[in-house]
Structure 1
């Protein structure tokens, strides 16, 4: 199955246009959060992505809530936040928000490590784990050298060992690729990224 994935669109019309154009060759599109900025403009992003030519699975970033994402009007989109779904034989589990809590203020949708771990406990099996936040130690280093990824996300990936862990959130690591056991970890960014996955 051909999967087109991205994160952290942040209202970028240029990147949205690239994603829509590329979606003609995708079986599934995955958006790993932060579609808008500071809870503003989600309706504009939905309009930008209205031409998607494949179904999308999305998790909320810290820039939008799960409820806001669900009502924004994205076409053929399933929002996962502490839940799972099956798509053509693939099991997907999604967890949004910033984990651990960010320093960005009251607008940011965040979870503590304990809250994230409790939600991730529901993931018994997944071919693809979608998390807005990266796992601790992979694709999570800021420009200041701080590792800001999630221990809970890393523990879930180590336990479940999905084929893919798709994330974003830490802009300084966009494009990162690494491995955690048998799991390929990718901090996506707003560029078009392709993955081939079989159930």
Structure 2
């Protein structure tokens, strides 16, 4: 199963044309948050519409920059994995939106205690053959380094042995693929034309760079 993974578009939906032109055919599109930069919801709707013309299955989580009205729009026009986990071909996709505190008072931040509770709920049922957690924030100390240090979630770090694959974003300069218990993939900064095609069966990744 192949997915087009992207994160951190921050309202720059015009970048999607270049990303799509460089993408192979995929089974699903996964968006790991920050469809907008504080809104408006119309930017999220436009993003989802463009992606649905490319692939009809679009799965999203909101990011820390996506306010309540954007989160509502995601659920109306795509699958919001925070609200509705989905199973495709024995693979369960589940979602954790927002982020741990950033220090910037962005629209959708969660305490580590709330993140831990939500993860407990997500993993409380019998898992499918393969589990993909789509999280806006990365785990602490995995694809989360910034000039200010590691900015990932400690609660997510504690869940690395519960998911098979984590697709995340949030840290724009931390693009990559790392095996750290789970496979952790940050597809890059979509607002700068970055994305990734991930083969979930082989874990091969094709990096997309549509802006030079």
Q: Shared fold by TM > 0.5?
A: yes
Per the TM alignment, residue 22 of structure 1 is displaced from its structure 2 partner at its CA by 5.2
TM-score, length-normalised on structure 2? 0.80
Whether 1:96 and 2:97 are equivalent positions in the alignment is yes
Runs of 4+ in 1 over 3 A off after TM superposition: 19-24, 72-75
Per the TM alignment, residue 188 of structure 1 is displaced from its structure 2 partner at its CA by 2.0
Aligned match for 1:136, one of 130, 133, 140: 140
In the TM superposition, what whole-angstrom CA distance separates every residue of 1:118-139 from its partner, at most 9, and x where no partner exists? Answer: 0000233352111100000111
SS at structure 2 position matched to 1:195? strand
Unaligned runs of 5+ residues in structure 1 are none
> Counterpart of 1:16?
16
Aligned counterparts of 1:90 and 1:47: Cα–Cα separation in 2? 28
Aligned counterparts of 1:66 and 1:24: Cα–Cα separation in 2? 33
Superposition pairs of residues 1-199 of structure 1, within 5 angstroms: 1-21=1-21, 25-38=25-38, 40-52=39-51, 53-54=54-55, 55-65=57-67, 68-71=70-73, 75=77, 77-81=78-82, 84-99=85-100, 101-105=101-105, 107-124=106-123, 125=127, 127-144=131-148, 146-158=149-161, 160-162=162-164, 164-173=165-174, 175-181=175-181, 183-189=182-188, 190=190, 191-198=194-201
Higher share of residues assigned strand = 2
SS at structure 1 position matched to 2:158? helix
**Residues 48 and 81 of structure 1: is their aligned pair in 2 closer, same or farther, counting only changes over 3 Å?**
closer
**Residues 50 and 10 of structure 1: is their aligned pair in 2 closer, same or farther, counting only changes over 3 Å?**
same
Query: RMSD over aligned Cα, in angstroms?
Result: 2.3
Aligned counterparts of 1:67 and 1:13: Cα–Cα separation in 2? 18
Per the TM alignment, residue 193 of structure 1 is displaced from its structure 2 partner at its CA by 0.2
Per the TM alignment, residue 37 of structure 1 is displaced from its structure 2 partner at its CA by 0.6
Asked if the contact 1:5/1:29 (under 8 Å) is kept, the reply is: yes
Asked if the contact 1:82/1:119 (under 8 Å) is kept, the reply is: no
SS at structure 1 position matched to 2:137? coil
**Residues 45 and 4 of structure 1: is their aligned pair in 2 closer, same or farther, counting only changes over 3 Å?**
same
